Amino acid sequence: MSEPEPGAEQAEAPSLVHLLRVLIEDAQTLIEAETGYWRTAFGYALRRIKSIALLAVLALALAFFMLMAIIVGLLLALAPLIGPWGALGLVSVTLGLASVWCVWLAIRRGKRMIRLLSVGKDVR
């Protein structure tokens, strides 16, 4: 490195107070930018949530009607084989057992989650 020439003026180093002011201004700019970004993102999400909820409800309704069609189809397919009452009984018992199984799994997983959250360990 070469030494500065004796006649050249050197720029005065910025003071600590000046550096702190610049730092505070930069922090304020960052905070304003971040809050603006998150406000915009949150506003976008709120505007879109109505259509998302409507589509979710429509999907659930269509899934319900699909399951009803499957059940009616099973009843119609089984009626000639085991009679209408037998088909009704078989489909009803099968759906009841599936419901009991789902409730049992939900209770078991709920209890496991409560144990996990209350103890803090993975209890299987």
Query: Is 98 a domain residue?
Result: yes
Question: Which tokens hold the place of 81?
Answer: 């084989």
Q: The pTM is what?
A: 0.54
Query: Is 69 a domain residue?
Result: no
Per-residue pLDDT tens over the stretch 83-101: 999 999 999 999 999 999 9
Same domain, 56 and 95: no
- Per the structure, the count of domains in the chain is 2
* Average pLDDT along the chain: 89
Same domain, 58 and 99: no
Please, what's the b/e burial string for 67-91 (b: 16 or more CB within 10 A of its CB; e: otherwise)?
eeeeeeeeeeebeeeeeeeebeeeb
Residue 35 sits in which domain range? 15-64
The residue-averaged pLDDT of 69-79 equals 96
